[in-house]
Structure 1
């Protein structure tokens, strides 16, 4: 769904300008939003003779060379939507063409976009994050996995119970599928993972970057168009001073989500979800949490190793006498694994 966040509200179409889709079985109620650059308009409509509302997404072929690429994009979106069966992903209903335009009809979800409402308590933002991660786990369990490629506030709906709905699969790809060079930069600047900007292959960690950027916008009450204000000269997110109330562990989790190097992010949504579940969002954290959260991720493993040695020495033990079953070592290994996401070594080291 494309929403015009600059207006901040649904735009009602004057009655004398309603599009006539009666032959296709629909009656337009209002315009939900538009993407002028992409030539897309989204409408809310009734299904004639049924008490059901739907969303109709229009793609206008403004240019002669847009016809083929536009149809292919919608065909790809339809193919992906037809594979999915999740209550929080609006299902595909119908599609049709009229001269100069193509229309995709989907289930309507009565929930506002995060592009229109972005004022949430940090605890609420955690619940939204968990809800979106559940959707990403579902997408990544498909065979082969599906990568959304355009996660941002405008493409996430959230209801009053903080259930998240993921919309607009127009850029979605099956993992491993070849992508035309012209579509590498088809995502949204600021939310697009670095590997996509430079034409590298996408992985299950790619959508995590976009989700992390979205959550940072929510935490800092930043509009999508202003996300560049949160990125420093090294192209890294710098938002900590804007949200001093969040805990070091939650801040650390977020920074792992938006690591520029995809190999330092959580490997997939399931691991990120498991890491987030026990984290307290608001708080000061322990001394070791505060210390580690200030260290660059590339150096955390080394520091955690030193912390292990120091802790064991204080307990009167030696490094050589410490066995893998030691409670202290297991605690630190678990902390290292949770934060750095070395999944294979975690299982070997902690026995989990």
Structure 2
């Protein structure tokens, strides 16, 4: 269910989608994914006046991938097995001569694909909300991997409650991938292990969420995410978002580590780590020390030597009660982590 609120438009009077036999009356178009052959509509349930989203899959674009399921069959299969208040629930599905239609609960919340400005504290709340959904998905008997987390697939209401939509690429962790389903996510948001053809893990969606948060923090559209990387194809957060607290920067860096086993193991671990973190402001001496060590340990094989170096520096700082060493630690922590 991809909602592009910028492209909302009334259905022309000359073009009537008549779903009255199915019990629905279309109100307007919500989004149009031309490349994927999908269109979403807002509609009323005629008997109850409840609003729903009807997602159309063009028959010509419903290729098969994992387990031999077509995109809409896979999405239905997943949605029918989950029940979370911030995942629009499955309502109905039907087929016509022009396509296949999936009906879902409507959430009155625009997607993050719509340009809106959030402050860092609000972005943290959105991150917590999405992580809670991922914890639920990953705690299923067969953990669920969304595979397409990006701003357009996250709806956020005025209370900063986030909703996760579009399960068309979703797979379960135990699923055996076929060649046609590899690297099927969105460029720029796909974790490296996906486009390299490796098995996905519960850390895979964390990478995509991390990139999404960077887009929000820098007010960058999804299509421009590639402009945020440096010459080494890395995100230099100290340069992109210098106002962030070093601990939040360190948390975010771990979310987007290239190697999945260097990220948080799963959403529950990432959620627990994020909750107590301060988002903006200056770090304490201890926080600066820890953040600097964490950043350096990811970029050099001399991690133990660096720990020793900072231990000596910290001891000197305590004994001298001078501000000079603290300033040096702060400067070290703000250097690019690459």
Scaled to the shorter chain, the TM-score interval is 0.7 to 0.9
User: Is contact 2:293–2:307 with CA below 8 Å preserved after alignment?
Assistant: no
Q: Contact 2:244–2:280 (CA<8 Å) still a contact in 1?
A: yes
Partner of 1:19: 17
- Secondary structure at 1:96 match in 2: strand
Post-superposition offset of 1:314: 6.6
Call closer, same or farther: CA 1:311–1:72 in 2, change over 3 Å. same
Question: Tell me, what secondary structure is at the counterpart of 1:187?
Answer: coil
DSSP-derived class of the 2:201 partner: coil
- For these two proteins, the number of residue pairs brought into alignment is 312
Contact 2:52 2:104 in 1 (8 A): yes
Contact 2:250-2:291 within 8 A present in 1 as well: no
> Who is 2:298 aligned against?
297
2:7, 2:32 within 8 Å by CA — same for their partners in 1? Answer: no
For 1:2, the equivalent position in structure 2 comes to 2
On the 8 A contact 2:296/2:306 being kept in 1, the answer is no
Over 3 Å counting, the alpha-carbon distance change for 1:92 and 1:303 in structure 2 is farther
Structure 1: gaps spanning 5 or more residues: 317-352
Paired residues for 1:1-352 under 5 Å: 1-4=1-4, 8-62=6-60, 66=62, 72-286=70-284, 287-289=288-290, 291-292=292-293, 294-295=295-296, 297-299=298-300, 301-302=303-304, 305-306=307-308, 310=312
SS at match of 1:111: coil
Secondary structure of 1:157's partner? strand
Cα distance change, pair 76–305 in 1 and its aligned pair in 2 (3 A)? same
Alpha-carbon distance in structure 2 between the residues aligned to 1:219 and 1:34: 26
SS at match of 2:289: helix
Contact 1:248/1:293 (8 A) holds in 2? no
Counterpart contact for 1:236–1:260, Cα < 8 Å? no
Distance 1:127 1:81 in 2: 25
Q: Secondary structure at the match of 1:168?
A: coil
* Secondary structure in structure 2 of the residue aligned to 1:295: helix
Distance 1:312 1:121 in 2: 33
Please give the alpha-carbon distance, in whole angstroms, between the structure 2 residues aligned to 1:195 and 1:60: 30
TM-score (norm 2): 0.86
- Deviations along 1:248-267, one digit per CA (max 9) or x if unpaired, are 11111111100011111001
| Structure 1 Cα separation of the partners of residues 14 and 225 of structure 2 | 38
User: Highest relative contact order (Cα 8 Å, sep 6+), 1 or 2?
Assistant: 2
Give the CA RMSD over aligned residues: 2.3
CA pair 230-293 structure 1, distance change in 2 beyond 3 A? farther
Once the two structures are TM-superposed, the CA of residue 16 in structure 1 deviates from its matched residue by: 2.4
**Cα distance per residue 1:190-241 (max 9 Å; x no partner):** 0000000011000000000000000000000000000000122333223432
